[in-house]
Amino acid sequence: MNMNTQQQNFRKLDVLIKELPWYVEEFIDKKKRKLSPGTLLNYCHDYKIFLNWVLAEGLFNGDIKEISLSLFETLTTQQVEDFLSFLKFQLNNREITINRKLSSLKSLFNYLQNIAETEKLEPYLRRNVMAKIEFNDVSENPETVANRMEGKILIGDEYENFRKFIEHGYGEKNTSNKRILNFHKMNKERDTAIVSLFLGSGLRLSELVWLNIEDIDFNKYNVRVIRKGNKEQYVYFSEQAMRDLKTYLNIRENKYMVSKENKALFVAAPMGPKGTTRRLSARGIEKLIEKYAASFGKPSLSVHKLRHSFATRYHAEINDVPKLRRQLGHSSIETTMIYTHLKNEDLKTAINKLNMPK
């Protein structure tokens, strides 16, 4: 994660923490030295969902910031199970997401019971209901994960067809809607370059969002990214991605009225009274992929599935797991091995001259 991302997450954290009770702020403050601001921000989002549920269920009368520790002493295991059911059936969270939220709560409650103490050297909580709640069993072998993933990624001709659809097809499909057509004309070079880079490199969303123009090496076909653990790495991408990037960069300054000081690679159109051009956000990229995917007829396709699509084709074409692991930035070889289980009969037109290191 680069410094800009960290600073942005710290700012968001400072805003969100003011909405939550004092003991949450104390816990987060203790964790700042060990955990990334992005992780802490996710913790706070999880706590806000839980505390808002407490209010909605009538378990506490008052403001969210006023929810007392004494309430946690009286929570029953059934009430916590009800909250987890709320996550599943009302918020449509997957089992793995529910486990993450439960893990956040377990960390907080463990701190309140076993680490924090009053002036009288007594724990904040004597009873920890979260310690009694078990995680969902979501263990899956790589083949199971691969089989589930296979129907949600681009396969065969879809790989190039999706890129062409963004470049031309989406506009042709919406010629009768001037607003949609004009918006596509404005952004088609940018959006094509974004998808082409995802499909030609396997970058993570956060890595692509924070790219600057200076990060691209146009001679070596690679891009400098800051990966998990704040590690710098140069990641290779395809010739098609390079062509689409150059097409976009040729129109970037004039179309988006970008000042020379703005080095962000992907930008959004100027908005607001001052008309300031800004870096395209992660959510903005997710929304445009969702839009194109739905219109293309593959609504389950997402930014992360584009990464999976790249990895699947790379493995089928090159069949080098260590290189694929490096390309994707995986810390564990087991994560990369998922792609060795994916099946696809039409992979002959895979990655074109990726210029991977020998």
As annotated, the active-site residues are 204, 228, 304, 307, 330, 339
What are the helix and strand counts (H, E) for the chain? 16, 5
Positive or negative: CA dihedral 182, 283, 301, 306: positive
Q: Where a domain ends, among 139, 160, 195?
A: 139
Shared domain for 120 and 8, answered yes or no, is yes
Strand partners, 293: none
Which residue in the block uniquely carries the two structure tokens 């992979």? 347
Rounded CA separation 208/227 (Å): 11
Residues 246, 268 within the same domain:
yes
Domain that holds residue 315: 143-341
Specify if 354 maps to a domain. no
Three-class DSSP category at 152: coil
Give residue 152's pLDDT. 66
Is the same domain home to 60 and 152?
no
31 and 101, same structural domain?
yes
* Axis-axis angle for helices 37-56, 3-17 (nearest 10): 20
In a domain, 32, yes or no: yes
Q: Which two tokens stand for residue 192?
A: 């094509």
Q: Measured in whole angstroms, how far is the alpha carbon of residue 137 from the centre of its chain? A: 23
Q: Which of 123, 139, 155 is the last residue of a domain?
A: 139
Instruction: Give the strand order in the sheet containing 216-217.
Output: 216-217, 222-227, 231-236
Residue 52 lies in a domain: yes
Series of mean pLDDT values for 10-residue runs along the chain (358 residues): 68 93 95 85 95 95 94 95 93 89 95 94 95 78 51 74 93 92 94 92 87 92 81 86 95 90 90 79 92 89 82 68 70 58 39 40
| Entry pTM | 0.55
Q: Could you tell me if 47 and 20 are in contact, meaning their C-beta atoms sit under 8 angstroms apart?
A: yes
Q: Tell me, yes or no, whether 210 and 191 share the same domain.
A: yes
Per-residue pLDDT at 4: 63
User: For residues 26 and 337, what is the distance between their CA atoms, to the nearest angstrom?
Assistant: 40
Same domain, 245 and 258: yes
Q: Read off φ and ψ for residue 217, nearest 5 degrees.
A: -100, 105
3-state secondary structure 200-240: HHCCCHHHHHCCEHHHEECCCCEEEEEECCCEEEEEECCHH
Closest CA to 36 of 64, 59, 68, 3: 3
The pLDDT assigned to 347 comes to 33
Domain check: are 34 and 68 in the same one?
yes
**Same-domain pairing of 24 and 83:** yes
Residue 347 lies inside a defined structural domain of this protein: no
Residues 223 and 300 in one domain: yes
Q: What residue type is 333 in one-letter code?
A: I
Residue 48 lies in a domain: yes
Backbone dihedral region for residue 276 (phi beyond 0: left; psi -120 to 50: alpha; all else: beta): beta
CATH number of the domain to which 91 belongs: 1.10.150.130
Same-domain check for residues 154 and 303? yes
17 vs 333: CA distance, rounded Å = 36
CATH classification of the domain holding 280: 1.10.443.10
Residue 322 CA, distance from chain mean position: 24
For residues 350 and 358, what is the distance between their CA atoms, to the nearest angstrom?
18
User: Are 115 and 185 contained in the same domain?
Assistant: no
For residues 147 and 128, state if they share a domain: no
